[in-house]
Amino acid sequence: MDKVLHNIIKNQILSLKNLQFNDFINQLYIIAYEGSRFTPIKQKQDKGCDGILDNEIVIAAYSPEKYETRKFKNKVTNSKKDGDFDKYQINWKDKGYKWRFIYNGEITTESRNFILELEKEAEIIDINHILTFIDSLEWHKKRNIIEYLDIDGVYFINDILSEIIDDLIKGIKPDDIIYKKVLYIEDKVRLNYSQDDVDMALDEYRECLECFPNLRSLLAAYNGENISALRSRIRNDYMKYHGNFKERLNYLTEEYIAKYKNDDIYKFYVRVVLIYYFEDCLIGKKTEDEK
């Protein structure tokens, strides 16, 4: 995750207080575990539990309007036995459940030690852990979280395209590749695809075209050597495969999505990059106007 998106997500989460934060944690876990491993608990019936993970971990989420050590400790445990830990101890611990305390901020050493003195096996999650967890998710899940937080989708697109570009230019020696801007995309598609595939190829091009402004903007931030390396990687990988254009494009796609093989979102944006360079004449047959 790039720094811009990281900070936007962090600020959005930090702005969530009380039940808003509880709802976010519920949504985060439902998306992350696809609903099968996480069970949210209604607030009026929670018994100190905001959700149960894997039927073995009880979750308590806390997000005060303002952090104060005294109030933090009182939220965890107090003389009335209505703190989060008190309720866990009364309702869940003897049943074998573990305890996870999730705090919407950066937890202090004092507060961490306070919890661990009560329950040495407690798992303490703060904002930094939450961000790391979100960053570890598959791209389609990450997109759903970003949408839930009402963050502009352009940041997600830029983030995924940046990762794809960075992956492609790693360890590649740049070559100089000169090409012209394509003017007649329909002619180019008909030249490279069979008649049966033309309509599908044009549909894919139109879908990818919407992302080209983001991609161009990102590419403009890279230096000339990196752009040359990126072009070299794509061109050389394309040349090593045999078959018609469609087959070679599919081979390239499968190679580039190897680490996210089952992530359709990542695959789509890899196609965006490849179709972008197809439009720019780097791969595929050129029309007479491009030669």
Q: What is the pLDDT of residues 104-115, one digit of tens each?
A: 999 999 999 999
SS3 for 93? helix
Q: Which tokens sit at 53?
A: 């993970």
Q: Evaluate whether 48 touches 87 at the Cβ level (below 8 Å).
A: yes
The count of structural domains within the chain is 2
State whether 164 and 267 are in the same domain.
yes
Residue 43 has what pLDDT?
65
State whether 189 and 157 are in the same domain.
yes
Angle, helices 153-169 vs 3-14, to 10°: value is 150
| Residue 31 forms part of a structural domain | yes
State whether 181 and 133 are in the same domain.
no
Q: What is the mean pLDDT of residues 213-219?
A: 92
| Residue 287 forms part of a structural domain | no
Q: Evaluate whether 50 touches 25 at the Cβ level (below 8 Å).
A: yes
| Residue 288 forms part of a structural domain | no
| Residue 285 forms part of a structural domain | no
Span between the terminal Cα atoms of the chain, in Å: 39
State whether 93 and 114 are in the same domain.
yes
Whole-number Å distance between alpha carbons of 246 and 279: 14
| Residue 284 forms part of a structural domain | no
The pTM (predicted TM-score) of the whole model is 0.83
Final residue belonging to a domain, choices 148, 177, 205 = 148
* Spatial CA neighbour of 256 closest among 193, 168, 186, 175: 168
Q: Which tokens sit at 162?
A: 């940046």
3-state secondary structure 124-154: EECHHHHHHHHHHCCHHHHHHHHHHCCCCHH
Residue 37 has what pLDDT?
92
Confidence of residue 172 (pLDDT cuts 50, 70, 90): low
State whether 163 and 257 are in the same domain.
yes
* Spatial CA neighbour of 149 closest among 1, 27, 17: 27
Q: Evaluate whether 282 touches 179 at the Cβ level (below 8 Å).
A: yes
Whole-number Å distance between alpha carbons of 36 and 33: 6
Residue 173 has what pLDDT?
63
Residue holding tokens 């029309």?
Answer: 287
| Residue 35 forms part of a structural domain | yes
Instruction: Tell me which residue range forms the domain holding 207.
Output: 153-279
For the four alpha carbons of 223, 224, 225 and 230, in that order, the dihedral sign comes to: positive
| Residue 291 forms part of a structural domain | no
Q: Residues 187, 191, 196, 200: what is their CA dihedral angle, to the nearest 10 degrees?
A: -60
The 3-state DSSP composition of the chain as helix, strand, coil percent (nearest 5) reads 60, 5, 35
Q: What is the mean pLDDT of residues 126-152?
A: 96
| Residue 131 forms part of a structural domain | yes
> Is the pLDDT score of 184 beyond 80?
no
State whether 268 and 170 are in the same domain.
yes
State whether 139 and 48 are in the same domain.
yes
Final residue belonging to a domain, choices 148, 172, 189 = 148
State whether 159 and 272 are in the same domain.
yes
Residue 48 has what pLDDT?
78
Whole-number Å distance between alpha carbons of 18 and 62: 7
Bridge partners for 53 per DSSP? 38, 57
- List the Cα angle 26/28/31 in 5-degree steps: 105
